[in-house]
Amino acid sequence: MHIIKDITSKDNPIFKLIKTLNKKKGRDENGLYLIEGLKLLEEAINHGVELQYLVINENTNLLPKGNLDCQILRVTNNMFRDLSDTVTPQGIIGLARQTDPSLGDLTLSPNPLIIVLSEIQDPGNLGTIIRTAAAARATAVVLTKGTVDLYNPKVIRSTMGAAFQIPIICGLGDEEVINWLDKNNINILVADVNARQYYFAVNLKGAVALVIGNENRGPSSKWKSAAGDKIKIPILGDTESLNASVAAGILIYDVIRQRLNEI
């Protein structure tokens, strides 16, 4: 049976700590982040995410299934709404320890698929791309400097648990990632609306790094210069470009299509 500690004051130090985690500064300073919702918490626990605290509101009866080895705190409904980042709070939030994997930690298969996200700004786009990458069993997702914080609550929610299923490496400079890809003989494919060739004309069966750039500016000049191939998706109407997560999904799954056709 779990022991539950009641917190009734917003002056409580743990309550104040949780409040700071809705901001990037607080997450960075404490090395913690928030996971809100029962299903998302169960996915995290099943993949070995370390929870420091579990916070529930006074009406919540269900706790996550799995190895729940952390202190459980109960707060009033009003206090919980003050902590929640959602319009309709689910009544349960976990505080998890951030991880810091590196490129050197990756185990590369013979034909790895690396998804590089350069200065993606929208949390929903980032979360959706991570979810797609995990569904495609990509080797890893790499977030370069300037990309929205992985631990933003909106990003974590939009991954639908995929953030716990795939290695995600954050905060690297473009040059560091480019040098690592070159060292490991991974072809750099840059999505660029101004490219001359369509994605389906390029061989995607080998070792590939797929680079998706900023929603408004597209890929940087560094990535364009580093590209082994620049590729585009046909746009037949008057729309200037596709949503970044939609474009990433099309390209990621053409890699899968080409590889499955070899089986």
The structural domain count of the chain equals 2
Q: What average pLDDT does the segment 39-43 reach?
A: 95
Contact 174, 142 (CB under 8 A): no
Judgement on whether residues 155 and 207 belong to the same structural domain of the protein: yes
CATH number of the domain bearing residue 117: 3.40.1280.10
- In tens, the pLDDT along 177-186 reads 999 999 999 9
Domain-terminating residue out of 81, 97, 113: 97
**220 and 113 housed in the same domain:** yes
How much of the chain exceeds pLDDT 90, in percent?
A: 88
- Structural domain that includes position 169: 103-260
CA distance 53 to 35: 11
Say if residues 227 and 197 touch (Cβ distance below 8 Å): no
Residues 68 and 38 in one domain: yes
230-249 pLDDT, tens digit each: 999 999 998 888 999 999 99
Digit-coded pLDDT (tens) for 141-156: 999 999 999 999 999 9
Asked if 20 and 61 sit in the same domain, the reply is: yes
